[in-house]
Amino acid sequence: MRRSVLLLFLLIYSSLAGQKVDLLPISTTGQIVKHKYYTLSYSQKNKQAEWVFYLLTKADSLGVVKRKNNFRSDPLISSGSASLVDYKNSGYDKGHLCPAADMSFDSQAMSETFYLSNMSPQFPAFNRGIWKKLEELVRSWSRLEDSLYIVTGPIFIQDKGSIGPDSVTVPGFYYKIIYDPIGDKKMIGFILPNEKETGKSLSDYTVTVELIEQITKIDFFHNLPDSLEFRLERHIDTNLWQF
């Protein structure tokens, strides 16, 4: 019995360990920045990431590190990231793409989420409302499913202008993609408008990953086997996810 459990653990571990880098989305900007606990593709034109990618495990979201707001420019952005003055008196929140609470397992991981390359201008009622609810839902899924790959980013359609001297684009929408690599494997996508929530449930915002790819022009899980990628990205079954 112990041998069987050990073999199962080794299979799962080796599968996850070998996928993290291989599963990175395609960068349309050519500027990929790898922090210790998450990776992003930076859009100089929009002064924010076009996607952030990370692995979220059951242990990651237990909240052992308290949040400390330390918003600052990202030193790894060679072209220069947004700055605090861009958001000052803008009327928009510095909205996390990789949530601080997802990185509450380690002080460095938490700190890295406050780089302004990981921020996007979000309508306050959106950031503190349905966007927060989606982040909490995904963390609850990680506790059920154990390990999830997350990709999050803005969608630059029907943008709301720009803010600050660096002209940080205010996106019209945001997407989030969740991939469960264990067992039968499943994937789900969301697109949410950057506005005050309208009373809809989170399940009303689910979309296929293929649709997100068509809109953003980003190829997400392109290194999965073609047959698996086809099945996961073109179909969603909300019954497989606990809302």
H or E segment and range at residue 169: strand 168-169
Residue 38 near residue 110 (C-beta atoms within 8 A): no
- Residue 96 is a catalytic residue: yes
Of the residues 35, 96, 222, 235, only one is catalytic, namely: 96
Residue 195 near residue 158 (C-beta atoms within 8 A): no
Which residues fall within 8 angstroms of residue 85, CB to CB, at 6 or more apart?
A: 164, 165
SS3 92: coil
CA 238/CA 159 separation, integer angstroms = 29
Adjacent-strand bridge partners of 206: 190
Q: Which residues are catalytic?
A: 96
